[in-house]
Structure 1
Amino acid sequence: MRHFGIFSLILLTTILSACQVFNRQSTTDNTTQKSIRLQGHLTQDEHERWIFHPCNQETGSILQPSHELSKEIEDLAPEAPHGLFADLSGHYNEKNHFTPTQRYRLQTEGFNCNDPDFTRLLVRASGNEPFWSLLQTPKGLIFHLPNQSALALPYMEEKLPDGRYHLSTEANDLLLRLWLTPQSCTDNMSGTVHHLTARLQWNENIHYGCASFGGLRQ
């Protein structure tokens, strides 16, 4: 996967200030549970159980994944002998086991606990062949293509039915539209599994990729 240091660009730093939001409340069967979004590493213990170690926490918890998440972990595990990185939302039970209710991202490489951009973003989307990247912040979009300077653009957001989003801008004589759909998506180069598929229209060109929510959106 190709990375770039967008926040070293002075032009763009002014649009990337926001607070970190991770917790939300959900009510099921008249019992209130706290659903927490956590990022961290998954490793196996001697009993072949997956242990989830949240970022900046010394202790881990036994993961109780769904059948679908278990298969995704098993498929990626051979590529990551030292463990996987996971971005999950879920809750702890009385035994301190962690049950995920949403998988945002599961990966063997790429953005991890040291990602400086995560808490400032609403969405990160990207695709390959050709590579493109689009970051959504509360104050603007950051669009990046290979061998070109990143562009900071104003935008409009529309929330569509079924959890879909549409972002658009026509600034700088550039027609840019991004559709996000809540559907599992696997990056065809890194193998990273995302919870959103992305369709990008850039002028007359159509590109496809994957996306996931940043720390400012649940």
Structure 2
Amino acid sequence: ANLAKSPGDKLFADLRGRLAGSKQAGSDGQVDVTRLYRLEPTTRSCEDPNFKQLTLRADGQHPAWDIKASGKGMVLNREGQAPLPLPFLEEQMPGGGLSLSSEANGQRVELWVAPQRCVDPVTGAIRHLKAELRIDGKSVQGCAYYGGARDL
């Protein structure tokens, strides 16, 4: 309710759960949520044509940046710079985290994500992964979520 700008606003929810039957005749069943991946104050996320191909998406502010990773590589977008496509190596970390790293185009780019609730300070969106982007040793923070191509 706090994410909605006004009563009745729609929200996008990406979650995992189990469908349970109704306990009373004539009423709908329910979804028992086991994991919340993201909750956003928008319905445009339902229309993202790239979601099914992504394995991971991360973004942050100050300066604005985002990474979209898929089986074909990752693309780093930064405010005021051209998109930078990169090959990457993905490593599983203890505790459920991931590291995506690349040493292409004369830069060392690392994205570290860990399972921790993360709230986007601009939109208020809630994500299930905390992200840290390091480029040549300089670090910025953000949030991340798994894409549709991630086999959980």
TM-score (norm 2): 0.89
In structure 2, the residue corresponding to 1:183 is in which secondary structure? strand
How far does residue 77 in structure 1 lie from its aligned partner after superposition?
3.3
How far does residue 193 in structure 1 lie from its aligned partner after superposition?
0.2
Tell me the residue number matched to 1:132: 65
Name the one with the larger strand percent.
Answer: 2
Match of 1:85 among 6, 9, 12: 12
* Runs of 4+ in structure 1 over 3 Å off: 77-81
Is the contact between residue 11 and residue 43 of structure 2 (CA under 8 Å) also seen in structure 1? no
How far does residue 152 in structure 1 lie from its aligned partner after superposition?
1.1
In structure 2, the residue corresponding to 1:109 is in which secondary structure? coil
The structure showing larger relative contact order (alpha-carbon pairs under 8 Å, at least 6 residues apart) is 2
How far does residue 139 in structure 1 lie from its aligned partner after superposition?
1.9
Aligned length: 145
Is the contact between residue 125 and residue 134 of structure 1 (CA under 8 Å) also seen in structure 2? yes
Name the one with the larger helix percent.
Answer: 1
* Residues 1-218 of structure 1: pairs in structure 2 closer than 5 A: 74-78=1-5, 81-95=8-22, 96-109=29-42, 111-217=44-150, 218=152
Is the contact between residue 109 and residue 190 of structure 1 (CA under 8 Å) also seen in structure 2? no
Over residues 176-206 of structure 1, what are the superposed CA-to-partner deviations in whole Å (9 max), with x where a residue is unaligned?
Answer: 0011000000000010000000011011311
Q: CA RMSD in A?
A: 1.5
TM-score (norm 1): 0.63
Structure 2 unpaired stretches of 5+: 23-28
Is the contact between residue 80 and residue 108 of structure 1 (CA under 8 Å) also seen in structure 2? no
In structure 1, the residue corresponding to 2:63 is in which secondary structure? coil
